[in-house]
Amino acid sequence: MNGDNGVQLYSAHARELRHTQQHKVMKFVEYGCVEYDRENRVFLCKPIEGYNSTTYEIRNSKEFEWECNCQGFQSAKRRYEKDPNAGLPSCSHVGAVWEWVKQHNLIKVRQSVRDGLQLTLMEESA
């Protein structure tokens, strides 16, 4: 999917991201907010000073590929669990992690029959 700012994001998550979120995604990446905590196997999306103040945790998830602990993701997840037609839960933090792992070549992207593109974290073989 191509945003008009040229951003490409993989996965069904990307399709759920609204344009306003795309903007946030790029801000997080630009400001270096995304980090990988290898010990705890969790991605962190740190706050942008003067913009927000919470660090969110984004974990690899079998069901959603990524799962974020922010309110937006969690309420979208509850909606999805009640009604799968509501669309996969996502948020700007998940988008930022996607963008970050792509930039760091941390993922292999492969085609999956059911969901289109899927990822494998390169960490497994590192």
Which residues of this protein are in contact with Zn ion, per CB under 5 A? 56, 68, 70, 73, 91, 93
DSSP assignment of 65-77: EEEE-SHHHHHHH
Q: Could you tell me the smallest distance in angstroms from the CB atom of residue 68 to Zn ion? A: 3
Please, which residue, 68 or 119, has the CB nearer to Zn ion? Answer: 68
Number of H-type helices and E-type strands within the chain:
4, 6
Q: Could you tell me the smallest distance in angstroms from the CB atom of residue 77 to Zn ion? A: 10
Q: Could you tell me the smallest distance in angstroms from the CB atom of residue 102 to Zn ion? A: 18
Please, which residue, 10 or 64, has the CB nearer to Zn ion? Answer: 64
Please, which residue, 7 or 68, has the CB nearer to Zn ion? Answer: 68
Q: Could you tell me the smallest distance in angstroms from the CB atom of residue 74 to Zn ion? A: 8
Cα separation, 117 vs 126, in Å, equals 22
Please, which residue, 52 or 118, has the CB nearer to Zn ion? Answer: 52
Residue type, 91: C
Length of the chain: 126
Query: On the CB side of 80, how many CA atoms lie within 13 Å of its CA?
Result: 15
